[in-house]
Structure 1
Amino acid sequence: MAQHPSFWQAALVQLQAVTTPELFRAWLAPIEVHSFDNSVLMLQVPSAFHQIFVKTNLEKNIASCVQAITGTAVTIQYVVGSAVDEASPPPPASFDSPFSEPGKAPDSTGQLIKATTGYIDTRHTFESFIVSHSNQFAHAAARGVAANPGSKYNPLLIYGPSGLGKTHLLHAIAVDVLKANPRARICYLSAEQFVNGFIESIQKKSVDQFRHSYRSRFDVFLIDDIQFFAHKGASEEEFFHTFNHLCGSHNQVVLTSDKPPKDLQNLEDRLVTRLQQGLVVDVKPPDLETRIAILKAKAEAEDLYMPEDVCLLIANNIRSNVRELEGALVRLSAEASINGSEITVEMAKESLSDLFNENRSNAVSIETINKAVCQYFKISAAELNSKSRARKYSGPRQIAMFLCRKYTGKTFPEIALSFGGKDHSTVMHAVEKIDNALASGTPIKKQVEEIQMLL
């Protein structure tokens, strides 16, 4: 094992002070520094699961500690296993070392490889991408670009919320292009990296060199999260001219963003218009069946046994973000490994309760809760909101009020108003009654848990 650089030794000391001994020993101690160039900290981790866990749970703390020690704001990237030779790590591309070498053909080890600039994760292929109606158009467009770069769908913009597979598709394009032509010139970077590089070139008075490097003849130019260019006047202008040059030279350009072009506020109109001239496709949150398929595929890839009922539980409770699905899988795997236990529904409920609650809070409305309660008790919305005190209706009504208070963030008067204008004290009484019932383990507890599964 290589000796840690001094800054990393100091960072580990700080991290050890703010984590539990078990967490430090299992997840931080095995990390090695692969390289640290131009504010990009490349960390080598033992496995893909390790990478996901660190990125999900520890990356912010690591970046904060390293910045405090080095005075440099860092971007963290990962190398999985020992597939990359530690003796001679490939330097990240910059304007100081123009992109003179072509990419490498992807191997079968499922690791990061060096493209002309940036790193490509060969695990992110079209074959490992779970296709459904929520993303099939984006998947088809990306495959079309990979098969014929520069000849159609240029530029291609893939948009959608974070964590739905946009970056996966960028890597998949690069992997397929390099399979067809191992000497293809691939540029992969984030908008933030482009901006940081441009600012550094201004500081070093080497803007011409920066400009020449990024306007070299790439076969494919992949850039993530272009919404980052908002309010970045000079950097956005530099990117606009680079973008125009590459498209004008018939080099394939693929971009991602969190919104469609017309909704990308604070970007210049000319850039928005240019983006709209290409093909714009979206990725949407996956449906239940797709979420289950994603969990099964990830578990199989990591040789992890995941019972069907646990997959269903996770998929029912984490609905909008594939990264959160992966994070849940990593957390369960880590807990099972550390405690020497099997993954069960009970374990998943306890371990992932914070993730489940956060997703419910973000997505659940009073209308959604009332619909679920009516479906569960087989009553109508009118009966739920009626003034009847019959137990058949008052019990479900109290549960609905309790769930509304728990998950929507609404005040007691607001909830009361939504139930036919009842007094807010009625809601307060309902919440207190259900709280007491849950604490005493009455049958209501099972009813509440089963209704929450419907939300």
Structure 2
Amino acid sequence: MEETPTPLDDPDRPAPGPPRSGPWDGYLVGPENELAQAAARELARGVNDGSPLVLIGPSGSGKTRLLEELIADRIARRPDASVSLVTAEAFADACHRAADRETPADWAEVRRSFRGVDLLALDDLHGMTRSPLALAELEPTLDALDAVGASVAVSVRDDPGRWDGWPRRLADRLRSGLTVRLDRPGPATRRRYLLDRVRQLGLTATAEALDTLAEAADGYRLLDGWLARATLMARVDRRPIDLDLVNSLIHDDQSASPGVSIAQVIHAVARSFGLRPRDLRSASRRAALVEARHLAIFLARDLTGASFAELGKAFGGRDSKTIRHACQATSRRLADDPTLASAAGAIRSRWTPESADHPGP
């Protein structure tokens, strides 16, 4: 039965949203992140036996949001606590500014800002790999925080111990903490997220539209971007967020994506593995071939933004569920297999050269 959505509120009025009652309000917990959330809540309470807490997961898995909620929880529990949430890039910039000025006072100020806190949260730690100076400063920073019983949480895309250029002692220090993996949200979690956001923003959307968005996106950032654009389009046209609007948005996004085709990705992966493109489209379940096929699906999704349905058609008529499984399995495999991650980085660098320095997902 076709749904009949109610009209939108006045588009000139700010969208209403229920006030947050406290930390973790509205935070969705599912199989992809429940262990990580439990660990973060423990750390927020001051239980830092496993410090540093190392959150490992691909882009779009919600690592930044988890750190934000951790900080909010600690402040709610201890309003007088000194906390800091900073990106690795900002940490590195602060170190380089101090080094450029070459005055002890500047270094003292930088170290006081990072070492004089009760809880330090460093986001996107992989962004520090290009700064040996920041890596060298991070190790004594962790030592200083540990000496006073402070807590540390960091987020990374991959296990730091597998990254070239990391000081061995620093990598071992991070790996000795509590390491918890997150994955991108599954379809059920994505749909719950969209339902919550729609309710918070006071929007009207059909179930079909939300299901389509949840199916097409594989991470929170893409969902947020699409929903923001859908909201603007709906308010300008004074219409609900319906299936036609969502399909138009997704189609425009895919049409505007970089000039990389699924076929190009298939050919690149096939050459890298010594296979023929038709092997990746075949029904063969040979282990080595399945690994290459899954990587090709994962990279095609990443580089072209194609939908699961489009990928299924390109890879021999496979269904969307099979394609989604291939993406999720490869994401986990890349985090655990440095050889495969290196191969993925080399293939991806054909179109995104900067990825050669970051072969992980």
**Alignment TM-score, normalising by the size of structure 2:** 0.66
Q: Deviations over 1:399-449 (max 9, x none)?
A: xxxxx75x965499733884599xxxxxxxxxxxxxxxxxxxxxxxxxx8x
Q: 1:218 to 1:420 in 2, by over 3 A?
A: closer
Q: Deviations over 1:380-417 (max 9, x none)?
A: xxxxxxxxxxxxxxxxxxxxxxxx75x96549973388
Q: Write out aligned runs for 1:326-405 (5 A).
A: 326-355=224-253, 405=263
Quick one: distance in 1 between partners of 2:35 and 2:250? Answer: 32
Contact 2:119 2:151 in 1 (8 A): yes
Contact 1:292 1:312 in 2 (8 A): yes
2:79 corresponds to: 182
Contact 2:84 2:114 in 1 (8 A): no
Q: Deviations over 1:33-83 (max 9, x none)?
A: xxxxxxxxxxxxx8899xxxxxxxxxxxxxxxxxxxxxxxxxxxxxxxxxx
Q: Are 1:239 and 2:138 counterparts?
A: yes
Contact 2:266 2:280 in 1 (8 A): no
Say which SS state the counterpart of residue 84 (structure 2) adopts: strand
2:92 corresponds to: 195
Quick one: distance in 2 between partners of 1:220 and 1:161? Answer: 24
Say which SS state the counterpart of residue 284 (structure 1) adopts: coil
2:45 alignment partner, one of 138, 141, 147: 147
Amino acid at match of 2:32: S
Quick one: distance in 2 between partners of 1:312 and 1:182? Answer: 40
2:169 alignment partner, one of 236, 253, 270: 270
Amino acid at match of 1:315: A
Q: 1:202 to 1:279 in 2, by over 3 A?
A: same
Say which SS state the counterpart of residue 262 (structure 1) adopts: helix
**Alignment TM-score, normalising by the size of structure 1:** 0.53
Q: Write out aligned runs for 1:117-266 (5 A).
A: 125-149=23-47, 151-204=48-101, 205=103, 206-214=105-113, 216-266=115-165
Say which SS state the counterpart of residue 138 (structure 1) adopts: helix
Quick one: distance in 1 between partners of 2:283 and 2:65? Answer: 47
Q: Deviations over 1:189-219 (max 9, x none)?
A: 1111111111111222234323441354311
Contact 1:187 1:221 in 2 (8 A): yes
Say which SS state the counterpart of residue 352 (structure 1) adopts: helix
Contact 1:240 1:271 in 2 (8 A): yes
Q: 1:220 to 1:272 in 2, by over 3 A?
A: same
Q: Deviations over 1:276-320 (max 9, x none)?
A: 11100011012111111111111112112221111111111112x
1:93 corresponds to: none
Contact 2:61 2:220 in 1 (8 A): yes
Quick one: distance in 1 between partners of 2:26 and 2:164? Answer: 33
Q: Deviations over 1:175-195 (max 9, x none)?
A: 111111211111111111111
Quick one: distance in 2 between partners of 1:179 and 1:263? Answer: 36
Using CA pairs below 8 Å that are at least 6 residues apart, which structure has the higher relative contact order? Answer: 2
1:306 corresponds to: 205
Quick one: distance in 2 between partners of 1:157 and 1:286? Answer: 19
Say which SS state the counterpart of residue 278 (structure 2) adopts: helix
Q: 1:414 to 1:245 in 2, by over 3 A?
A: same
Q: 1:331 to 1:451 in 2, by over 3 A?
A: farther
**Offset at residue 255 of structure 1 (A):** 0.6
Quick one: distance in 2 between partners of 1:420 and 1:274? Answer: 45
Q: Are 1:285 and 2:190 counterparts?
A: no
Say which SS state the counterpart of residue 130 (structure 2) adopts: coil
Q: 1:191 to 1:126 in 2, by over 3 A?
A: same
Q: Deviations over 1:127-165 (max 9, x none)?
A: 32211111111011001111125x322110101111211
2:347 corresponds to: none
Amino acid at match of 2:35: F
Quick one: distance in 1 between partners of 2:15 and 2:135? Answer: 37
Contact 1:230 1:267 in 2 (8 A): yes
2:223 corresponds to: 325
Say which SS state the counterpart of residue 280 (structure 1) adopts: strand
Aligned pair count reads: 273
Amino acid at match of 1:340: R
Contact 1:159 1:258 in 2 (8 A): yes
